[in-house]
Amino acid sequence: MKLGGNGNQLIATTSIPTKCVHCAVRARALFQGIPPDQLEWTQQYRENQYRAPARARLFSEGQQHPYVYTLYSGWVLLSNSLSDGRTQILRFALPGDFLGFQANATSPMSSSAYAITESMLCAFPKADLQRMMTESSGLAARMATLAARDMAQLQQVLLSTGQKNAREKLASLLLELYVRVRALGNLVPGSDEHSIVFPLSQEMLSQSLGLSVETVNRTLRGLREDQILEIRSKRLYMLDQNKAMAIAEIDINSIAEQALL
């Protein structure tokens, strides 16, 4: 499957009644910290739960899309592409993340979203979100917080992409994802003492880091041989976290903290 290509353009939508089951995630994503009395009226707004199968495209760069999403479960990637197919993955979204929010609700999406694993999402009409933001300063402030958080994360990614070499980039990304997944605890199942479930292909890693697939492969081999990190059968093993941190130079505390915002 070409990530930069067309893929499955349609969102597989199994519409389910309004009630959201993953309350923990929902609270965290959109309504965290907002007083209950400000939340009641959210019931009058339409929101729907969707199931996106692995490899589904949620929305595409340049196209109109009327919804924003809260990710309940699964991994989703956001990307931008150039006309010749070169694709940059901007971020990997994990449960609790908010997708599709833009400065201007009516303009086309600035990036594409693609479900890496089967995912559950809660869709919210942008028009409603906009109205709700004018009514609740709590919700508007929440959106600002989430945007600022994603911003900080993206800045770290830019530092990696612009300044680090292949080994540093890879260690940064893998350590970041490892920390985020662990910070989310049981929202992302399958973690154990020193490893997490890890559904990303080497192609995705390469498109996230601005490297070729071959370089990713060779660099992963290096990290494995040095007993630092290993990816095996869709799991990421943290073999030596101290060494990984020394190479990556990222602040795992603030990453963990931000994952929980």
Partner DNA sequence: CGCCTTCTTGAGATGACTCAATGGTGGTGG
Partner DNA sequence: CCACCACCATTGAGTCATCTCAAGAAGGCG
Site residues (vs a second copy, CB under 8 A): 80-83, 86-88, 90, 101-104, 107, 110-111, 133-141, 143-152, 154-159, 161-164, 209-210, 249, 254, 257-258, 261
Six-digit token string for 252: 């795992």
Distance between CA atoms of residues 143 and 105, nearest Å? 13
Binding partner of residue 218 among DNA, a second copy, none, CB under 5 to 8 Å per kind?
A: DNA
**What is the smallest separation between the CB atom of 55 and DNA, expressed in angstroms?**
8
**What is the smallest separation between the CB atom of 169 and DNA, expressed in angstroms?**
7
Q: Which residues are within 8 A (CB) of 107 and not within 5 positions of it... i.e. 6 or more apart?
A: none
Decide if residue 220 touches DNA (CB under 7 A).
yes
Q: From 44-52, 131-139, 211-219, 246-254, give the range in contact with DNA by CB under 7 A.
A: 211-219
Q: Which helix (H) or strand (E) holds 119?
A: strand 119-125
Output 53 or 210, the one with its CB closest to a second copy.
210
CB neighbours of residue 2 within 10 Å: 9
Chain centroid to Cα 250, Å, comes to 18
**What is the smallest separation between the CB atom of 17 and a second copy, expressed in angstroms?**
29
Output 125 or 210, the one with its CB closest to DNA.
210
Binding partner of residue 13 among a second copy, DNA, none, CB under 5 to 8 Å per kind?
A: none
- DSSP for 104-144, written as a single string: STTSPPSSEEEESS-EEEEEEEHHHHHHHHHH-HHHHHHHH
Decide if residue 4 touches DNA (CB under 7 A).
no
**Contact set for DNA, span 141-170 (CB under 7 A):** 165-167
The packing angle between helices 137-163 and 252-259, to 10°, is 150
Report the phi/psi class of residue 37: left, alpha or beta, with left for phi > 0 and alpha for psi in -120 to 50: alpha
Output 42 or 117, the one with its CB closest to DNA.
117
